[in-house]
Chains A and B, each alone.
Chain A
Amino acid sequence: MTHTHHRRGSRESLQKDFVVLAMIDREAEAQHAYGGPLEARVEKLLRILERHGPVALLARASGRRLRYMRWWEPRMDSGIHRAASLGEIVHSEELPDEGLTHAVYTRGEAVEGVLRELREADLGISIVVSGVFDDVFDICRRAGTEPHTVNMSLGTWGRAQLMPRGAVLELCTMCGHAMISSRLAEAMIDRVRRGALAPEEAAVELGKQCTCNIFNVERATEIIRNAAAGGA
């Protein structure tokens, strides 16, 4: 489960890409249920995540994945996921019960707000932030939290010549489970170049393939727009 890791791109692009992940440890919950019933704490967690404007959010409940993605309309539903608005997820009666929630943000200020509120709420739930380390550490300082453990990337080793390059690699690595094919990313860029799709539509089509919903549709839109205009 290293899937928010290894995202590629320039520093400037990655600085608009944060994934906040909340994970519940079942053994710890069984042992001390820190801070009261889990259901109430998860509801607080979701409200905090919502308040700071994620571009994508996923919560797992009762075997289903409740997904919100900016610009995703019900007609774009891939058929296996319930297309839900952010509000529908947060106010769902089926609160996440499978231990994992993700939210994607494009601004450090939003992540700082999330961490500040989570620290004050003291929910006892593990929180992991993926992003540029320098920025995440600065955010921790401002929010009054301290990094506990880091997971660093030493990049890709082996036959690197097999990998896609440039914009295609940046788009594909936003789904850590590699469900976004490089051929699909190339086709989406090409369709935008030919005027057959808007960059936002192309980004959503790619994001639908990411079943964990950690794909950053706003960043992808910018990457696609630049690539279609002749960038890398």
Chain B
Amino acid sequence: MRIDRERCIGCRSCVIYCPVGAIKAEDDEVRIDQDLCVECAACLKSGVCPQDALHQPELGWPRALRSQFSDPLVAHPVTGISGRGTAEMKTNDVTGRFREGEVGLAIEMGRPGISTGFADVERVAAALAGRVEFEPLNPVTALIDEETGRFRDRSVLKERALSAIIECKTTEDRGIEILKILKEVSEEIETVFSLCIINRCKGFDVPFRERMEAAGFTPRINGKTNVGLGRPLA
């Protein structure tokens, strides 16, 4: 995001709309820290600038990744849909993506609202590589070598995003081991991640929840439930 110097009157109205604090007011000038800016366009969309001084220039590679991962209205070239991940369990009653005995994980780097460097995304993906099955339609998967978890294009490492989701799955038998790996790597990163655990129900029971609780991982009281009204693919 850029500020048109000819138009900006330094009113500072936009400063509080930036989710990552990249818009700075110093003396009479408002400027955007381009290293911190994740190109989410929240400032522009707020419509708060009385002078229309905010503008989004065309972004080249690899900076375009910032917009693709941060602006929910920008479609990812990989998935073809806006947003940061996939349909995951939302259509599982139709697609059968997660089967009984499997555990899905969505590790959302930078959420909530902290943002993440791609180096931290790689750190977590590399810790999981070889131990999980990465989701093929996920935008992070499209950028990494699945065997090592490392980004194939190293220029990506200097970029940032409001969040980036690593999606993968494993079995219920290996799920606790994966959570322990995530706990270890969480102490090595400079940001946060929010962790989603997906599991097929057996009636009104959630088999993996008991295993998690027994191992000391307690899920929050709220989350998402697919209520099974979709009709499965043949």
Report A's interface with B, CB cutoff 8 A: 1-7, 11, 14, 17, 21, 23, 25, 27-28, 31-32, 34-35, 77-80, 115, 118-119, 122-134, 136-137, 140-141, 145-160, 162-164, 169, 172-173, 176-184, 186-187, 208-209, 211-212
Contact = CB atoms under 8 A, between A and B. Distances in A.
B42 interface: yes
Given A23-B90, A212-B72, A148 B200 contact: yes
Contact of B46 (A147, A153, A154, A209): A209
21 contacts: A1-B86, A2-B108, A2-B194, A6-B220, A23-B91, A25-B95, A28-B95, A78-B47, A126-B226, A126-B230, A145-B229, A148-B226, A149-B201, A151-B224, A152-B223, A154-B212, A154-B218, A159-B189, A160-B192, A177-B163, A179-B19
What bracket does the count of chain B residues touching chain A fall in? 35 or more
A134 B222 CA distance: 8
A134 B225 CA distance: 11
Contacts of A28: 91, 94-95, 230-233
A25 B94 contact: yes
Contact of B223 (A126, A130, A163, A208): A130
Interface in B68-109: 72-73, 83-95, 98, 104, 106, 108
Contacts, number: 286
B71 to A, nearest CB: 9
Interface of B: 15-21, 40, 42, 45-47, 72-73, 83-95, 98, 104, 106, 108, 110-114, 162-163, 165, 179, 182-183, 186-187, 189-201, 203-204, 206, 209, 212, 217-234
Contacts of A182: 19, 113
B204 A158 contact: no
Nearest to A182: B113
Contact of A118 (B40, B162, B229): B229
A123 B230 CA distance: 8
B15 A140 contact: no
A127 B226 contact: yes
Contacts of A162: 114, 191-192
B165 A177 contact: no
A2 B19 contact: no
